[in-house]
Structure 1
């Protein structure tokens, strides 16, 4: 029986938009909607995306109402090979030249005064960085949201400096979005071995395949920038809109911190960090109830769009319309989870200091919470005895991911205490907080681990354990290891208040399915293995090999709850 799938075509162009087929330098034409075209010359905001410019998923007819009301022309374009646009369908390629050519077209229109900004999430954040690489002189400001300059669709988008497990969600995305102009909805049977067979079944049913998928499963990286890398391009003012719960958050904050090292970029970059996931669900509403679900409820969508558009409109007011001086914008505006908004001149904020917690009581780490201990590292830690604990990796009994779709992490925001109780998971927990503990900056773990296999994965989650025992995600990260540790696992940045009575827990496992492809346990590509190998991992702590969690915390609580609102 053939796999069932649904083909999703382009939705109608709204009546209040005017669609143009804009010609690129190679003669191909890209479908481009213009909102606010019936006004005199003014600044334009450009969005270039692959998700159907007219779909409810991207809601640009509603976004346009907010931008045109503030005097902007909003220009929204299907990228090459997607929906109404012409050309071959292969993401992350061609965006530099297409971005330049589209900006050039915008500047030649009667409704344009020559000033262009760009806006948008995820892939349409990446197209902004591609336009930066093109170095068109009319590009005056960008607002990339929950995105990255990097191009690693088949790998976890965490730390590019170390090997990463295969990010199944990223490759699955290729197999649904990047086949042809339309998108395809289907459920791949991820129990198949080899795993690639699940997608071969889908491509056979559809009658087409995804070139991006084929590149990703073979580990072939795409060449995105035929111009300079954005870091090396002409700086433009940038408002990084980061989500503390975004699955691209580590990569996005890497862009921010790398650009902060470059004086010309540092002078024009700003940070706006909210407690959101990739799909713009909020921590304060998690788990999301129907009345707060903007994917399904129009009133909830309207409320979300005010928060979604507001920072960009303020930023463009400064850099596209000269309504205020740049000094009027806080350099960093960040939300402290469970407390509220804060501003600071830099990130991490002044007063943030490292706090090292050492993993202890390893003998208790296998089993339910609280497991082993997390306690402040002492000066005499080297005098402590080493201790170790082993855990298994069984490809026939994989550790479940917290959610099947990490783009919507906060929609369900589940209790992970049952996962922490598995006998193939390690967990280490702090004592209950007596006072608020404010996390404000990067978090990482240094783990001394070895394995019986030549390759193994380390998946690390930082959890908030409530007084009732429920454990919910704060941060996560992973590495793919090929030797004994120590391995540093970056968990990204956060602004998060651990409330009195709550505890932090560090969870360590060797699988995370279905978010990631199970390790083959050998040198074989895990997409093609039919018999992945089990293994045994051992973590050591104490003595000369202390395994540690490093937090960045504020030395004093960050003001009253509620905080400053943006």
Structure 2
């Protein structure tokens, strides 16, 4: 999802910037106008008669061209406040100047498109119908490639599963909210992680869902009227600004948007869904029982919301594709940036507070080389030059390549949680050992839902000013008594950790239900502790997401957390650290510990949680070490 200007604390434009932008817009418009047929607000018909607003830019002349298609819930209107905006025009120019038609379309129910909106642009038949319409146009060569990041990518997988013959290539970036269930992951489009709600959707839907009472244009309005209207009326509502650092603290969570006086839409329905609710399997999400037989270029970020499920999907398609050519045409790039921030990498890329070096990559060269090969049939050097997997290793700060992910030369090394029962805070006695302790002396902490551990950095997006994503020094946070800290000895030799990180904890509680969180940390010689990845597990779902099994007071339970993932070089003198707690808020919603619905509760229960570690209860983290 994109951060929206409506969110509190985000960037605003100055008058000078607007003036400069207007000058740039005029230049790009006339460049585009000189080479393109511009056909805006074409109302593309769907099978049920609903029409979707579509802008088409194609090379002048009578040729037949491959199509680059962008489908989005966001406003792509080229006119705002009587002035043209640049983004859509720039994208169109990049495509048309390379011999492509560029088509951008709003999802059903968004802005000038007719119908009622639901997340991911359902029904997915709209995507199929759009491919059918485009491939039949006189200016089309019959091949379509889809491109986008975040919500312009997340719909691609489910539509691709329908198997339209015109869909010849995908470029999906930051696409995790389109993944429902894949392998060990059942996030239902990033709504959940380990059964806990990811609160990004609360703030995102506030600024995205259209109010049911919003005014609409007349059904059947003509294109000429839409072209005229778009210059002064772009259907983009302005919602009251919200301080999400406070707004996400509202209880119960089902009332957050209501109390912010936001739009009435689908949020209240979605917040009540459990992880295995049938509704997740009827919308626009892709699940791993659906076919996906399309060549795809996948772009992932280490500090995005769902790096691990995204990489798992890449692996799934490679292994499950029935067409060997499709399996061979799956490529992956993993960059050390935030959500959809690939092109923001610089000579000194800062992600949060941590410098990860020169992480630049020529994404235009990669994208157009991919499309030229698959949409134009060019015999180019894409496959000769591009590795199957290109990933960035932080710490050593370099791009690397492999034929698969995880890497073939991976050795899983176990680090066992250990202490004398006083692992609370970084000043405690928690350690990571090569063998589990002989005797179980558990670490105990109090989890109070009214005083949760605050999210500080992390793999997140779209929460306005509530959480800033990225890598931040956690050392001050680690002085909280409700954070257990386990640290390795100082490393004498550097080690590269690249791949999926597996975690098993043994937990007991005084509550019917609670959460357990874990965070992987790189501790520098100066004591700064930078987060790499994090995850959570709601314990009522420890036995699977198709049932809720509550806890018995004092009973010890084995909890396997969803895998984390990273690529990081721990240099000599550094330490490996694990943080364990029961909250990471507002990245994830608070468990109220009652065993109730959680989403409709305003009062929580304070619980005592224990992490057990011994030969009987071997709490462990398994790190993928790369053998050199």
TM-score by length of 1: 0.84
Residue 417 of structure 1 aligns to a residue whose secondary structure is coil
- Aligned partners of 1:412 and 1:333: how far apart in 2? 20
Alignment match of 2:350 (pick from 273, 277, 286):
286
- Aligned partners of 1:194 and 1:161: how far apart in 2? 17
- Aligned partners of 1:273 and 1:6: how far apart in 2? 28
* Maintained 8 Å contact 2:161/2:291: yes
Q: Does 1:122 align with 2:150?
A: yes
Alignment match of 2:490 (pick from 422, 432, 443):
432
- Aligned partners of 2:433 and 2:86: how far apart in 1? 45
Shift of 1:326: 7.0
- Aligned partners of 2:271 and 2:292: how far apart in 1? 31
- Aligned partners of 2:163 and 2:473: how far apart in 1? 46
Residue 495 of structure 1 aligns to a residue whose secondary structure is strand
Aligned to 2:56: 34
- Aligned partners of 1:410 and 1:502: how far apart in 2? 25
Residue 515 of structure 2 aligns to a residue whose secondary structure is strand
Shift of 1:59: 3.6
Alignment match of 1:542 (pick from 614, 617, 620):
614
Aligned to 2:241: 186
* Maintained 8 Å contact 2:301/2:338: yes
**Aligned pairs for 1:15-414 within 5 A:** 15=29, 16=32, 17-19=38-40, 20-39=42-61, 40-54=63-77, 59-92=87-120, 94-148=122-176, 149-151=178-180, 163-180=194-211, 182=236, 184=239, 186-187=241-242, 189-202=247-260, 205-206=261-262, 208-219=263-274, 221-224=279-282, 232-233=290-291, 235-262=293-320, 264=322, 266-280=327-341, 282=345, 285-287=349-351, 307-323=362-378, 324=380, 327-328=383-384, 329-338=386-395, 339-368=397-426, 371-377=429-435, 381=436, 384-403=438-457, 406-407=460-461, 413-414=471-472
* Maintained 8 Å contact 2:303/2:458: no
Give the direction of change, closer, same or farther, for the CA distance of 1:230–1:44 in structure 2 (3 Å limit).
farther
Give the direction of change, closer, same or farther, for the CA distance of 1:66–1:485 in structure 2 (3 Å limit).
farther
* Maintained 8 Å contact 1:147/1:249: no
Aligned to 2:623: 551
Give the direction of change, closer, same or farther, for the CA distance of 1:226–1:78 in structure 2 (3 Å limit).
closer
Alignment match of 2:523 (pick from 457, 465, 484):
465
Give the direction of change, closer, same or farther, for the CA distance of 1:246–1:461 in structure 2 (3 Å limit).
same
Q: CA RMSD in A?
A: 3.4
- Aligned partners of 1:514 and 1:310: how far apart in 2? 38
Give the direction of change, closer, same or farther, for the CA distance of 1:502–1:68 in structure 2 (3 Å limit).
farther
Shift of 1:471: 1.5
- The aligned length equals 529
Q: Deviations over 1:111-150 (max 9, x none)?
A: 3211111111222222211221221101011111111342
In terms of mean alpha carbon deviation, does 186-195 or 424-433 score higher?
186-195
Residue 539 of structure 1 aligns to a residue whose secondary structure is strand
Gap regions ≥5 residues in structure 1: 293-302, 557-566
Gap regions ≥5 residues in structure 2: 1-5, 13-20, 33-37, 212-234, 541-550
Residue 124 of structure 2 aligns to a residue whose secondary structure is helix
Give the direction of change, closer, same or farther, for the CA distance of 1:544–1:244 in structure 2 (3 Å limit).
same
* Maintained 8 Å contact 1:458/1:481: yes
Shift of 1:53: 2.3
* Maintained 8 Å contact 1:318/1:326: yes
Q: Does 1:419 align with 2:483?
A: no
Q: Does 1:499 align with 2:571?
A: yes
Residue 31 of structure 1 aligns to a residue whose secondary structure is strand
Give the direction of change, closer, same or farther, for the CA distance of 1:531–1:504 in structure 2 (3 Å limit).
same
- Aligned partners of 2:459 and 2:432: how far apart in 1? 29
Aligned to 1:562: none
Aligned to 2:599: 527
Shift of 1:168: 1.7
Give the direction of change, closer, same or farther, for the CA distance of 1:479–1:351 in structure 2 (3 Å limit).
same
* Maintained 8 Å contact 2:422/2:429: yes
Q: Deviations over 1:514-560 (max 9, x none)?
A: 1222112112222211211111110111222111111112112xxxx
Shift of 1:327: 4.4
Alignment match of 2:558 (pick from 486, 504, 508):
486
* Maintained 8 Å contact 2:421/2:443: yes
- Aligned partners of 2:393 and 2:98: how far apart in 1? 29
Q: Deviations over 1:330-358 (max 9, x none)?
A: 22122222331122121122211111111
Aligned to 1:300: none
Q: Deviations over 1:47-100 (max 9, x none)?
A: 111121248999443333333333222211111111221210211352421111
* Maintained 8 Å contact 2:53/2:106: yes
Give the direction of change, closer, same or farther, for the CA distance of 1:161–1:66 in structure 2 (3 Å limit).
closer
- Aligned partners of 1:58 and 1:410: how far apart in 2? 27
Q: Deviations over 1:252-273 (max 9, x none)?
A: 1221232233253533322111
Q: Deviations over 1:16-73 (max 9, x none)?
A: 4532221111111112122334253221111111121248999443333333333222
In terms of mean alpha carbon deviation, does 210-219 or 333-342 score higher?
210-219
Q: Deviations over 1:479-509 (max 9, x none)?
A: 1003442111124322222222222211111
- Aligned partners of 1:228 and 1:517: how far apart in 2? 24
